[in-house]
């Protein structure tokens, strides 16, 4: 048996609100069990009769309902009642039970709650995932757990229960959500949106907050197939979205750098290659450097040193030297590769690039064809000085 | 909907329903001593005749008939549950129009 206390309240627009709390021996009363809104009290009266409560309880509840409607001063008085889980289910005191229904309808949602509705209710209330139920064409908030209230920037959901969604969420930032809700109700199709941006004021701080939600609005139908409830589940994915935005921003920046380098590589009058210092793999090479090595850029990029190596022993020595952290500039070489048909002599420079902890990560190799006297004039003179 | 039967189960339902309507009416009116509930059976239809003081008639019906509608809702739910079809007839004292539904079971019982 479950010990509850119930109170009723009637709005001027005929809405009938039932507030239920569970009372537990030795623990006083538990927090709000449910707050259910009916378009009219008759639907609840039907349930009272069909719930097979003892005659005194039936009488007390019906009188309380009628008095709360007929005389405003009689509304809001708590009525203690004891009932079974099944009776509680029939009365719809499990918050996700559908209001406004005929009591003998077979409800799709109630099947979920059939075994032990209060356990399921407790589960939803304690779930870390935000859940809410909106009822009727006005999408009246009939159930909301604490995570859902926090998600909306509210400190508690109790003030929102019983309100139509448009009144509960007046901020313009929720307009898209409200549109989706209406669409779910009208079409009967679940509405799922990812990373929907909402802006609202936080109740406790008053700050305007922008947050991203993954939202599911799932219509719940009655036996006749009409949509009567919307089960709402939402997840705050703001951190995930912001983290992804940071990554995307970084990736855009990296791409821009890559594109700039690619432009330089393609138009530079010198051969350029970037080599992995650990295994001497050619990470990047421009067309001119590939030509100096007697191969195509496509073949050489990402290739390991050939066995037997096609690069000349001299250039391999310079590269290995750079891998140890040494820098060499304007080294005069006649040939860079056994495959190269002609050209040279070449002025070759190697320079290591260190990672943040000081380890050589890559080697930059630049080569100037000294056969082009016009470009190589200064480099040739410098190389000649170094070799003397 | 089954026809009204003169058996103990039906009697029990009728008595319980009468008691419920009587209690509700007394709780809603200013003059509870004037409340009577009668019962009439005709053509398989059980009519609950609720009589209240004239000054309480408006309270019993309610604004835009809301209270009366609620009472009928309760009777309708009981009808579906027990297989006994009820209707409600609200009247005020003096009882001048009982001719249309003269109680033939036990008359006013409260």
Residue B60: which H helix or E strand, with range? helix B57-61
Subunit contact A49:B19, Cβ cutoff 8 A = no
Structure confidence at residue A33 as a pLDDT band (50, 70, 90): low
What is the reported pLDDT for B9? 62
Given a cut of 70, is residue B10 above it in pLDDT?
A: no
Average pLDDT score over residue span A40-58: 86
Average pLDDT score over residue span A336-352: 84
Do strands B45-52 and B86-92 pair parallel, antiparallel, or not at all (unpaired)? parallel
d(CA A71, CA B27): 11
Subunit contact B67:A104, Cβ cutoff 8 A = no
Residue A240: strand, helix, or coil: helix
Given a cut of 60, is residue B61 above it in pLDDT?
A: yes
Subunit contact B23:A49, Cβ cutoff 8 A = no
Given a cut of 60, is residue B109 above it in pLDDT?
A: no
Task: Give every strand in the sheet of B45-52, ordered side by side.
Answer: B36-42, B45-52, B86-92
Q: What is the pLDDT of residues A233-282, one digit of tens each?
A: 988 888 878 887 887 877 777 777 878 888 888 899 999 999 999 988 88
Residues of A in contact with B19 (CB under 8 A): 55, 59
Closest alpha carbon within chain B to A41: B70
Task: Report the range of poorest mean pLDDT among A107-121, A241-255, A307-321, A341-355.
Answer: A107-121
Given a cut of 70, is residue A352 above it in pLDDT?
A: yes
HSE of A154, CA atoms in CB hemisphere, 13 A: 18
Secondary-structure percent of chain B, ordered helix, strand, coil, rounded to 5:
50, 20, 30
Q: And the tokens for A251?
A: 């990736």
Chain A residues touching chain B at CB-CB below 8 Å: 41-42, 45-46, 48-50, 55, 58-59, 62-63, 65-67, 69-70, 103-104
Average pLDDT score over residue span B38-59: 80
Given a cut of 90, is residue A353 above it in pLDDT?
A: yes
How many CB atoms are located within 10 Å of the residue A27 CB? Answer: 8
Q: What is the pLDDT of residues A219-234, one digit of tens each?
A: 988 888 889 999 999 8
**How many residue contacts between A and B have a Cβ separation below 8 Å?**
56
Tell me which of A107 and B6 has the higher pLDDT. Answer: B6
d(CA A146, CA A160): 11
Mean pLDDT value across chain A: 81
Residues of A in contact with B48 (CB under 8 A): none
Q: Is the peptide bond before A192 cis (omega within 30 degrees of 0)?
A: no
Residues of B in contact with A70 (CB under 8 A): 28, 59, 62, 66-67
Residues of A211-249 as b/e, b for ≥16 C-beta within 10 angstroms?
A: bbbbbbbebbebeeeebbbbbbbbbbbbeebeeeeeeee
d(CA A314, CA A346): 12
Average pLDDT score over residue span B41-52: 79
DSSP-assigned beta bridge partners for residue A332: A347
Structure confidence at residue A129 as a pLDDT band (50, 70, 90): confident
Tell me which of A115 and B16 has the higher pLDDT. Answer: B16
What is the reported pLDDT for A216? 92
Given a cut of 80, is residue A190 above it in pLDDT?
A: yes
Given a cut of 50, is residue B3 above it in pLDDT?
A: no
Given a cut of 50, is residue B39 above it in pLDDT?
A: yes
Given a cut of 50, is residue B104 above it in pLDDT?
A: no
Given a cut of 90, is residue A329 above it in pLDDT?
A: yes
What is the reported pLDDT for A244? 77
Residue A143: strand, helix, or coil: strand
Residue B95: which H helix or E strand, with range? none
B69 → closest Cβ in A42, A48, A49? A42
Helix runs in chain A, H state only:
42-50, 55-70, 85-91, 108-113, 117-126, 146-151, 165-168, 175-187, 238-267, 287-292, 297-300, 313-323, 373-387
Q: What is the pLDDT of residues A295-321, one digit of tens each?
A: 888 888 878 876 556 788 899 999 999
pLDDT > 70: percent of chain A: 84
């Amino acid at each position: 048996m479950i010990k509850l206390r119930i109170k009723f309240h009637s709005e001027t627009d005929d809405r009938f609100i039932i507030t239920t709390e569970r009372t537990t021996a030795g623990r006083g009363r538990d927090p709000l069990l449910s707050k259910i809104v009916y378009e009219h009290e008759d639907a609840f009266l039907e349930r009272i009769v069909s719930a097979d409560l003892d005659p005194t309880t039936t009488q007390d509840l019906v009188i309380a309902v009628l008095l709360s409607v007929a005389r405003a001063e009689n509304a809001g008085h708590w009525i203690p009642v004891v009932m079974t889980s099944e009776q509680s289910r029939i009365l719809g005191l499990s918050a996700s039970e559908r209001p406004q229904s005929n009591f003998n309808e077979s409800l799709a949602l109630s099947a979920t709650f059939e075994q032990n509705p209060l356990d399921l209710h407790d589960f939803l209330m304690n779930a870390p995932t935000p859940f809410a139920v909106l009822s009727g064409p006005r999408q009246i908030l009939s159930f909301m757990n604490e995570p859902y209230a926090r998600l909306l920037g509210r400190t508690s959901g109790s003030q929102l229960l019983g309100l139509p969604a448009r009144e509960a969420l007046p901020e313009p930032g929720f307009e898209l959500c409200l549109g989706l809700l209406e669409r779910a109700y009208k079409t009967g199709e679940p509405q799922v949106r990812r990373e929907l941006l909402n802006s609202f004021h936080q109740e406790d701080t008053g700050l305007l907050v922008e947050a991203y939600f993954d939202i599911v609005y799932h219509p719940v139908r009655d036996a006749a197939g009409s949509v009567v409830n919307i089960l709402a589940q939402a997840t705050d994915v703001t951190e995930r979205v912001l983290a992804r935005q940071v990554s995307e921003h970084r990736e855009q920046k990296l791409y821009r750098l890559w594109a700039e380098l690619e432009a330089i590589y393609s138009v530079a009058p010198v051969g350029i290659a970037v080599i992995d210092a650990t295994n001497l793999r050619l990470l990047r090479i421009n067309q001119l450097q590939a030509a100096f090595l007697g191969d195509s850029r496509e073949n050489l990029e990402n290739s390991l040193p050939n066995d037997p190596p096609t690069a000349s022993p001299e250039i391999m020595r310079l590269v290995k030297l750079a891998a140890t952290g040494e820098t060499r500039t304007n080294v005069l070489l006649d040939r860079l590769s056994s495959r190269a048909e002609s050209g040279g002599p070449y002025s070759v420079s190697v320079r290591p690039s260190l990672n943040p902890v000081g380890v050589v990560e890559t080697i930059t190799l630049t080569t100037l064809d000294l056969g082009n006297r016009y470009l190589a004039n200064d480099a040739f003179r410098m190389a000649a000085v170094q070799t003397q | 909907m089954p026809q009204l039967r003169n058996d103990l189960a039906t009697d029990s339902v009728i008595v319980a329903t009468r008691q419920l309507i009587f209690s509700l009416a007394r709780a809603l009116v200013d003059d509870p001593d004037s409340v009577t509930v009668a019962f009439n059976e005709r053509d398989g239809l059980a009519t609950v005749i609720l009589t209240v003081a004239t000054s309480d008639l408006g309270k019993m019906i309610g604004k835009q008939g809301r209270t009366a509608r609620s009472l009928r809702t309760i009777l309708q739910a009981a009808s579906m549950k027990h297989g006994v079809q009820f209707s409600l007839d609200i009247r005020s004292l003096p009882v001048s129009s009982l001719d249309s539904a003269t109680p033939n079971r036990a008359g006013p019982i409260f």
